[in-house]
Amino acid sequence: MISALKTEFARVEDQVRNGPITPNVSPEDIRRHLASHFDFARAMSLDEAVAEVEHMLATWQVQVTHPRYFGLFNPSVTLASVAADALTAMYNPQLATWRTSPAANEMEKFVLDWIGAKFGLPKGSVANFTSGGAEANHSAVIVALTKAFPRYGDDGLRSLPRQPAIYLTHESHHSFSKIAHMTGLGRHALRTVATDTRLRMDLEDLERQVAVDRAAGFAPFMVVGTCGTTAAGAIDPLLELGSFCREHGLWFHVDAAWGGAAILAPSLRRHLDGIGAADSITCDAHKWFSVPMGCGMFFCRQAGGVLEAFRAQAAYMPGRANEDALDPYTSTMQWSRRFIGLKLFLSLAVYGEPGYAEMIERQASMGNLLKQLLAASGWRIVNDSPLPLVCFMRDGLDISAFLRSLRERQIAWMSDVRIQGAPSIRACITSFNTTGENVRAVVDAMNRMASEQAAQLVRA
């Protein structure tokens, strides 16, 4: 199996590397193709069906594993993690209870304990794999609510004497807006704290807002610090936020969905100082740990709070093996659970910590190279992040037209973003296959394109 998988993996990787990044297709094109090839009225051979599906995936999607995809946090993936997904699908373990899948549950616990220790969480903390960062953040809010308001779990929000409030910045992930809705808090429970010039949470404004809310009869209960914001790669002052939350009796959650993997990189881990003081942490392995979607992680230092938040009992479920063997259906948001963690377990086993550190450091160095080449070419860097995410712009540049041309010419895939209210271009190194040659070629092409656009404006 592994030999055949290696061959196929290498073929696809080479095909993506040397092919287009961005598709040219309409919804109607794909729908016509589906209707003409898949009516489900007749049986197809597996070879025929797979060939058609692979054709569509190879042709009609943005190739996020391409070395010149500088977009959102969608990485190239390791061969080990692909093998793990295949094994999981074949054996199909059900991780709702420990007794049903003891080996799978223990492998997940093993790798989560290892990463939790890297973050500095104490023994006795609990963790679980999630579908992604949104589920992990949702878990954090539910556990924090349950801890702060003991009646919340049984009697709901209407039983609370005061309206709860969560504090975050405009740079925080937008999943919290959904979470505020889904938990019943309502989106108005979110308080937007100001940021400094580096887009990090402003401690003075946080302190002011918490004091004002308490005086007005609200119930502040949670602060969300971000380690690697989506737009600009900002890292909130985690050490100071942890101290503030301890002093004021607030739950401190760190959303390190992307940036958390930097804990393995010697040159970057100092930027995560203070993360070990968090009450809960979100980290996505399907971002900088380079495994397939979806592989989020939720860590919490308060095991009792997690067990109270997600407690459940069903006579048809097998009983617990012992006090150490947590049943995930009683300690997570999920009930039926896929073996999510194997792809991270196998990747860490194959690469080891040194291999992962080298992979992350290399991507960080590619980000630094991109930043240096852009600055030397007259582009203005408008964000300040130690992570490989660069936001930049040029006076007079039509960003929408520029990005559209960048994609149409298959030079690179980047996105637009607003930094401090101003439009700019966002580029993030997400592939461990990105080389210095890739970065230099992209910057050279962008410089030519910017000159072309400037010349067109002069002629106009």
| Amino acid at the residue 133 | G
Which stretches of the chain score pLDDT less than 50?
none
- What is the C-alpha to C-alpha distance for residues 310 and 142, in angstroms, rounded to an integer? 9
Which pLDDT score is estimated for 135? 97
Q: Give the containing element (helix H, strand E) for 270.
A: none
Angle in degrees, CA 68, 72, 77, rounded to 5: 65
Domain boundaries, the chain: 86-345
Q: Give the containing element (helix H, strand E) for 432.
A: none
Question: What is the rounded average pLDDT for all residues in the chain?
Answer: 94
- What is the C-alpha to C-alpha distance for residues 376 and 296, in angstroms, rounded to an integer? 38
Q: Which residues pair with 426 in a beta bridge?
A: 391, 415
| Amino acid at the residue 87 | L
Segment 260-278, tens digit of pLDDT: 999 999 999 999 999 999 9
Which pLDDT score is estimated for 455? 80
Which pLDDT score is estimated for 314? 77
Q: Are the C-beta atoms of residues 263 and 275 closer than 8 Å to each other?
A: yes
Backbone angles phi, psi at 337, to 5 degrees: -135, 125
Protein fold of 86-345: Aspartate Aminotransferase; domain 2 (3.40.640)
Name residues whose C-beta falls within 8 Å of residue 321's C-beta, 6 or more positions apart in sequence: 98, 99, 102
Which pLDDT score is estimated for 1? 77
Segment 44-98, tens digit of pLDDT: 999 999 999 999 999 999 999 999 999 999 999 999 999 999 999 999 999 999 9
> Would you call 93 helix, strand, or coil by DSSP?
coil
**Lookup: tokens for 96:** 């709702």
DSSP notation for 77-125: --HHHHHHHHHHHHH---TTSTTTSHHHHHHHHHHHHHHHHHHTPPTT-
What crossing angle do the helices spanning 436-459 and 342-376 adopt, rounded to 10°?
Answer: 50
Which pLDDT score is estimated for 456? 78
- Looking up tokens 């910057």 gives 443
Nearest to 235 by CA among 187, 189, 268, 280: 268
Which pLDDT score is estimated for 39? 87
**Lookup: tokens for 50:** 């797979």
Which pLDDT score is estimated for 454? 78
Segment 163-201, tens digit of pLDDT: 999 999 999 999 999 999 999 999 999 999 999 999 999
